[in-house]
Homo-oligomer: A and B are copies of this chain.
Amino acid sequence: MNAPFSPAAPAARDALLAALKFDGAGLIPAIAQQHDTGEVLMMAWMNAASVAETLTTGRVCYYSRSRKALWRKGESSGQVQHLIDLRLDCDGDTLLLLVDQQGVACHTGRRNCFYRAIRDDALVNIAEPLMDPEALYRK
């Protein structure tokens, strides 16, 4: 699955879109996983247009619920996700994106977003930023 990206055939893209069960807001959750290490990077939301664009360009595009607009991952931060494979679950209501993450996935500068956990008797950060979050969004 590590071959260079080629756009999905229109028939396959349409078959996939027809199999998706979007929620009442027209969205579906998408889990991004680094394709070679298995690291779960983040979870975000997609709409039909962002799924179609991602399958066409090979660059992951989400839907930002706060901005109510397509969100081409990395468009502000430069931390782009290249699509390796897109998988659909049994119920058709969740996507798993195998990606190649450039730099860091998290807006805090951490490699992945899941850095808070219980250790001993407290909720703590278990990973440190690899990049300065100020620098990520200054450009």
- Of B19, B43, B87, which is within 8 A of A89 by CB? B43
Q: Is A117 an interface position by the 8 A CB rule? A: yes
Note all chain B residues with C-beta closer than 8 A to A107: 90
**A29, A86, A118, most chain B CB atoms within 10 A:** A118
Note all chain B residues with C-beta closer than 8 A to A87: 114-117, 126
Q: Is A75 an interface position by the 8 A CB rule? A: no
Q: How many residues of A contact B (CB 8 A)?
A: 42
Q: How many copies does the complex hold?
A: 2
Note all chain B residues with C-beta closer than 8 A to A8: 118
- Of B12, B86, B113, B121, which is within 8 A of A94 by CB? B113
Chain B nearest CB from A115 CB (Å) reads: 7
Chain B nearest CB from A10 CB (Å) reads: 9
Note all chain B residues with C-beta closer than 8 A to A12: 118, 120-123
Note all chain B residues with C-beta closer than 8 A to A90: 106-108, 110, 113, 115-116
